[in-house]
Amino acid sequence: MLKMNKTMEILNLLIGFELIAIGLIYLRVSDFSSAASWSIFGCMYIVMDKYSDLTNMSNNRSIVQNIKYAGAWIGFIISTIFLIYSLITV
């Protein structure tokens, strides 16, 4: 069970970063709405990882927690910028 939890932690982080990368790809083609949407979704994927048994976490849990904290801040910054962009352009 511990190995599965550790694998899930890593997979969820990788998926979140891949979704953020998709957002950056859309940013390169000046599609700001899609870029923000994909990036925010990626940050949410990183941050909203949930575990029921806190005693059986992997040894790298503090690293995962720090990445989730950074993901939360990145998501907040991107969503704030997107909100301001939307207010100006809509």
**CB-based burial of residue 46 (10 Å sphere; 0-12 exposed, 13-18 middle, 19+ buried)?**
buried
pLDDT of residue 52 exceeding 50, the answer is no
Domains of the chain: total:
1
> How far is 39 from 60, CA to CA, in rounded Å?
24
> How far is 33 from 81, CA to CA, in rounded Å?
11
Q: Quote the pLDDT of residue 37.
A: 92
Range of the domain at 74: 2-89
The predicted-structure confidence for 10-48, as pLDDT tens digits, reads as follows: 787 888 888 999 998 988 888 888 999 999 998 888 887
Q: Quote the pLDDT of residue 65.
A: 78
Q: Quote the pLDDT of residue 57.
A: 57
> How far is 48 from 40, CA to CA, in rounded Å?
12
Q: Quote the pLDDT of residue 87.
A: 82
CATH number for position 29 = 1.20.58
